[in-house]
Structure 1
Amino acid sequence: MTTNSIGLDTKKTKEIADELNSLLANFQIYYQNLRGIHWNIRGKRFFDLHPKFEELYTDANLKVDEIAERILTLGVTPLHTFEDYSKAAKVPVGKNISEDEKAVQLIVGSLYELLKIERQILDDSAEANDEGTNSMMSDFITEQEKTVWMMKAWLGESI
């Protein structure tokens, strides 16, 4: 087994970095979706949702940076073009969404996809003894599960 400068198996680290690049691409689409619904939201719930969407896109922007920096820490180059993001993304793209319920449903659907990717990375990083990535994924999952619960409650739905 060959290890890198932070003591992790280089083969497993490359695989985790590739998964993180997939997560990065999906987070970029999620971020852009949040910007779009923030800008385009209309209706009686505008004053509630507009700042909430800003809070979510600000958080997503920070996470994009954290993911990219973790990829660099693992010795791999993060994806950084819209072409790469579009090819790798599974998060649904929201276009011209201005209705409150459709916007919240887009968030829930996006988080569902992100959580699937993050849980796979969590499993793989635990197996690779990559505590840095594992801790990041654990934190992301905990926070996003709560957001899904809150959004589903707003929609009047059960988790």
Structure 2
Amino acid sequence: MTDITNDLNQLLADHQVFYQKCRIYHWTVQGPLFFALHQKFEELYTEAALRVDELAERIVALGGRPIGTLAKQVSTSRLGEDGEARSAKAMVQNLIDDLEKLTLWLRETAADAGEANDSATLNMLEGFADANGKTMWMLRAFLAD
């Protein structure tokens, strides 16, 4: 299970960076879309926080140790941080881009878990990926003209 715990730690780091990006967007969004996006970004970071917890607990359940420091999570994550001032729509597009990557990585790791006969990890990751699909659909609909 070492490979799976390593992959889960990678996803943990990715989700921590996504979580923080949603937080900064929640704090800094401006303009006529403020109320809708302020609430949506809060929903997204709340969901990301729950996933971080589930990923870390699954790592421990498999005998691994979750990456515990922010510095290590940031250096491990495949997602970039974002402290730039952005338009509200650019924030949404950036999150869609990140969710596309996360979904791909979740499905790759789920496939590895399936090959290892780890149905608990497989089911957890597939659930996350499926939820991302719905979130991306909603965010894309928000951006549609």
- 1:77 paired residue among 62, 65, 81: 65
**How many aligned positions are there?**
145
Question: Structure 1: which 5+ residue stretches go unaligned?
Answer: 1-12
Distance 1:72 1:133 in 2: 12
Q: Among the aligned pairs, what percent are the same residue?
A: 39
- 1:54 paired residue among 42, 45, 52: 42
Please name the residue that 2:8 is paired with. 20
Instruction: Output the amino acid matched with 1:37.
Output: Y
Distance 1:97 1:150 in 2: 23
Please name the residue that 1:8 is paired with. none
Distance 1:154 1:95 in 2: 23
Distance 2:134 2:85 in 1: 23
Structure 1 counterpart SS, 2:84:
coil
Please name the residue that 1:109 is paired with. 97
* TM-score (norm. length: structure 1): 0.87
Structure 2 counterpart SS, 1:134:
helix
Distance 2:80 2:63 in 1: 29
CA shift at 1:57, angstroms?
0.5
Question: Structure 2: which 5+ residue stretches go unaligned?
Answer: none
Please name the residue that 2:109 is paired with. 121
* TM-score (norm. length: structure 2): 0.96
Please name the residue that 1:153 is paired with. 141
| Greater gyration radius | 1
Q: Residue deviations 1:9-57, cap 9 Å, x none?
A: xxxx110010000000000000000000000000001011101110110
Structure 2 counterpart SS, 1:76:
coil
Structure 1 counterpart SS, 2:71:
helix
Does 2:81 match 1:93? yes
- 1:38 paired residue among 11, 26, 30: 26
Please name the residue that 1:29 is paired with. 17
